[in-house]
Amino acid sequence: MSVQERKERERASRERLIVATARELAEQQGWDAVTTRRLAERIEYSQPVLYSHFRGKREIIGAVALQGAVEMAEAVRAATAAADGPRERVAALAGAYLDFAARNPAVYDAIFQLDGGLAYAQEDTPEPLKDAFAALLESLGEVAGDGVHPGLFTETFWAALHGLATLTRAGRLPPEDTEPRVKLLVDRLAVV
């Protein structure tokens, strides 16, 4: 292994450590607790080393969002692959999405609530975000109904899921009614 390859591996390893530590700190104490000073202390590197990877907290949030988008897409695809039939896939998708949001609130916020400097629904949208949307579209597109654009239907269904996730987490909706809400959403919107 060349010196250059070793340095690149070490840099990539440090970057993964920064992102993992930011994510862990955000999940434990919220995003307000994630500062470059605190991250530098936790990973035992100086702040200039941190800044050599990320220009600031905004870019760190963006890195966590991209990692989270990959994980969410994997969770949705795994859940829908195990389901039999279009309606069952949509219900599995909804369950996987809401479960991901509940289990990873700081990551969910990084993806959908916070400014990570990422472009959404544009030409330059990063691939992990496009793929996360594609994971939703794969199952939702088949139940959009005649004359309904699959992408528009996916955006609308996703918005409903986001609302359920956000309102439940904020204590505005009782969590014990999540399953009937999902059933109502699937029954009323998914055309099969």
Could you write out the DSSP letters of every residue in 138-173? HHHGGGS-TT--HHHHHHHHHHHHHHHHHHHHTTSS
Q: Whose CA is closest to 169, among 84, 112, 91?
A: 112
Mean of pLDDT over the chain: 95
Mean of pLDDT values over 118-144: 96
| Over residues 86-106, mean pLDDT | 97
Query: What is the pLDDT at residue 141?
Result: 93
Sign of the Cα pseudo-torsion (62, 63, 66, 68, in order): negative
The predicted model gives 140-152 an average pLDDT of: 94
Evaluate if residue 192 carries a pLDDT over 80.
no
**Greater pLDDT, 85 or 191:** 85
Q: How far apart are CA 102 and CA 67, in angstroms?
A: 17
Task: Report residue 189's pLDDT band, with 50, 70 and 90 as the boundaries.
Answer: confident
pLDDT band at 3 (very low <50, low <70, confident <90, very high): confident
Q: What is the pLDDT of residue 125?
A: 97
User: 166 pLDDT exceeds 80?
Assistant: yes
Give the H or E element holding residue 28.
helix 3-29
Measuring CA to CA, which residue among 165, 160, 188 is closest to residue 178? 165
